Amino acid sequence: MRSARCDVAIIGSGAGGGTVAQALIPLATQGRRVIVFEQGGRLEQAEFTGIETEMAESLYEDGGGFLTEEGTLSLAFGRTFGGSTAVYSGTSLVPSARVIEAWAVPGLTHEDLVSRCERHAANNGVHLLPPEQINDNNRLFREGCLGIGLEAEQFPVNVRGCRGASLCNLGCPNGAKQGTDRVQLPAAERGGVEVVTRAEVRRIGDRRLVIRVERPGPGEKGAASAWPAGEYSVEAPIVVVAGGSVGSSALLLRSGLGSALPRLGEGFTCHPALILVGEHEREITNDVGHPKSYYLDRSVEERFVLETCMYFPFVTAKNLTGFGPDHSTMMRSFRRLQMILALACDRATQGNRISVDRSGRPRVHYRFTPEVREALAAANRAAARIFFAAGALRVHAPLANPPLLARDEAARIAGRITATAFIPGKTSISAAHLMGGCGMGSSPTDSVTDSWGRVHGLPWLRIADSSLFPDSLEINPYLTVMALADRTANAVLEDAGRLLANRGTGLS
């Protein structure tokens, strides 16, 4: 095993790790060695081909189909330079006061989060797309909402020079999306922070990491790591873990921290989501233009959020209920399809948690509560009404039985779509907003960290990602992750003098 040392190790390069990396440039400038370890590879811009199967395999853990232990929910999270910011659609929302106040984390205020979110939004070029860049798929959602007396809101998105490839979830082929791979990490590297890709942190010991660096596999996209392949023992007086809800929780658990931190892995939430499609009479612009421009927030009233979306043929096929000729007919209507993503605002629930198996691989345990099933049914009903109000001829709703609703059934939606149609293992459901596992709070009995991401009892160990959320955020989490990571970085800078005392600069 080779040895290396640094002053600060940041594990993960997504919204959390990338933000911390940029914020710690002052340490690098002072001669401190700051290294980001990213498990995934770093792709050249030309390698973002937009081809569904090859990009999913290159950019996501398990190709975007990480299954829960129950085998009834698939989770999508990035494993690449930039983490999930490379593969999400760039939606950038500020959390609500209601949710942050309900979290009741001592020392964490909504006002503080908002100011940090706004700073990061500006840094990432977040803005509203002009009307001429909104495609039919999105426009029809807004019109449908108006048709049933509800007002959709427009997503601010972090794109610069968007050409409307509609491929955000496969990594922007034009580099328009301003994820950490485009903004924070390049800035950090210019400021002296190192990034080591293909580096999986296997364990964290006392201020020491065990890391395995891999070579790219045959035909695998992405450059080789900056470090030669092999096992490393890395001394790091400060460790910031930002591997995402699942990754960070699993790393701490396989490092044996579970006994000192009984809440580790607990409180997992994910906004489980169903895809609905509406079939129009004529072709619409759907697979061109930004895919996610509007949302309808019903989190307070009915515990769900609807968002526009446009997925790729394989993902779409997988998410439609059933198979055979009816399924094929709907797929062949692809150019006439409008899509809506229906997300449930789930709550931290006992038993929904992250653990690890004997080899240290993460396991996610998730059961659908009656509240989540009801929220998904209500979301299906609202989406169906929106489709019909927008002029759809037929609607495919996973919680209708049978799933196809004809236009003349529009008046009977309430009876046709019910929570009883949700059958785990049959209903295709997925989630991409993975939250919790290292929740913030006041002591080890109720949490893993304090409000500044400091792990209870281990002052050298910090967390900076969505695992910090003590409960569901009820909106797309990326800006909130950045705001929390910013707080973690602030605390690291504040404590660095003490934690790095008696060390040289780390430079050889």
Partner 1 sequence: MLGRVRRPFRALVVGFVPESADLSADEWRRGEELAERLLSGRPGRVRRQVTLLILALNLIAAARFGRTLPALDPSTRSRLLTSLQDSPLLLVRRGVWGLRTLAFLVYYGREQGRAAVGYRASASGWASRRSPGTGAGEGREP
Q: Please report, as ranges, the residues that interact with partner 1 according to CB under 8 A.
A: 48, 50-53, 57, 62-63, 65, 70-72, 130, 132-133, 135-136, 162-167, 173-174, 282-285, 287-289, 312-314, 316-318, 322-325, 327-328, 331-332, 334-335, 361, 423-426, 428
Which residue lies nearer to partner 1 by CB, 2 or 318? 318
| CA dist., res. 504 & res. 32, Å (int) | 8
H helices of 452-499, in order, are 478-499
| Residue 424 Cβ vs partner 1, minimum distance, rounded to whole Å | 7
Residue 309 CA to its chain's centroid (Å) = 15
Which residue lies nearer to partner 1 by CB, 19 or 316? 316
| CA dist., res. 445 & res. 447, Å (int) | 6
| Residue 26 Cβ vs partner 1, minimum distance, rounded to whole Å | 38
Query: b/e string for 460-498 if b means 16 or more Cβ within 10 A?
Result: bbbbbbbbbbbbbbbbbbbbbbbbbbbbbbebbeebbee
Residue pair 55/234 in contact (Cβ under 8 Å)? The answer is no
Beta strands in 168-257 (DSSP E): 194-196, 199-205, 208-213, 230-235, 238-241
| Residue 325 Cβ vs partner 1, minimum distance, rounded to whole Å | 6
Which residue lies nearer to partner 1 by CB, 56 or 378? 56
| Residue 324 Cβ vs partner 1, minimum distance, rounded to whole Å | 5
Which residue lies nearer to partner 1 by CB, 144 or 173? 173
Which residue lies nearer to partner 1 by CB, 17 or 144? 144
| Residue 52 Cβ vs partner 1, minimum distance, rounded to whole Å | 7
Tokens (6 digits) for 58: 């290159």
Residue pair 257/250 in contact (Cβ under 8 Å)? The answer is no
Tokens (6 digits) for 450: 């304090």
149: exposed, middle or buried (Cβ count in 10 Å: 0-12, 13-18, 19+): exposed
Q: Which helix (H) or strand (E) holds 184?
A: helix 184-190
Which residue lies nearer to partner 1 by CB, 72 or 308? 72
Tokens (6 digits) for 86: 């490379």
| CA dist., res. 124 & res. 120, Å (int) | 6
Which residue lies nearer to partner 1 by CB, 86 or 204? 86
| CA dist., res. 258 & res. 355, Å (int) | 10
| Residue 339 Cβ vs partner 1, minimum distance, rounded to whole Å | 13
Which residue lies nearer to partner 1 by CB, 70 or 101? 70
Which residue lies nearer to partner 1 by CB, 63 or 444? 63
Which residue lies nearer to partner 1 by CB, 162 or 246? 162
Residue pair 290/163 in contact (Cβ under 8 Å)? The answer is no
| Residue 214 Cβ vs partner 1, minimum distance, rounded to whole Å | 14
**First and final C-alpha spacing in the chain:** 20
H helices of 197-320, in order, are 244-254, 299-302, 313-319
| Residue 275 Cβ vs partner 1, minimum distance, rounded to whole Å | 13
| Residue 69 Cβ vs partner 1, minimum distance, rounded to whole Å | 11
| Residue 63 Cβ vs partner 1, minimum distance, rounded to whole Å | 6
- DSSP one-letter string for 125-167: T-BPPPGGG--HHHHHHHHHHHHTT---EEPPB-BSS------
User: 3-state DSSP call for residue 41?
Assistant: strand
User: 3-state DSSP call for residue 43?
Assistant: coil
| Residue 210 Cβ vs partner 1, minimum distance, rounded to whole Å | 22
Q: Prior bond to 325 cis, omega within 30?
A: no
| CA dist., res. 471 & res. 349, Å (int) | 9
- CA-nearest of 198, 208, 219, 181 to 54 is 219
User: 3-state DSSP call for residue 449?
Assistant: strand
Residue pair 473/6 in contact (Cβ under 8 Å)? The answer is no
| Residue 305 Cβ vs partner 1, minimum distance, rounded to whole Å | 25
Tokens (6 digits) for 288: 């061109």
Which residue lies nearer to partner 1 by CB, 299 or 428? 428
Which residue lies nearer to partner 1 by CB, 86 or 234? 86
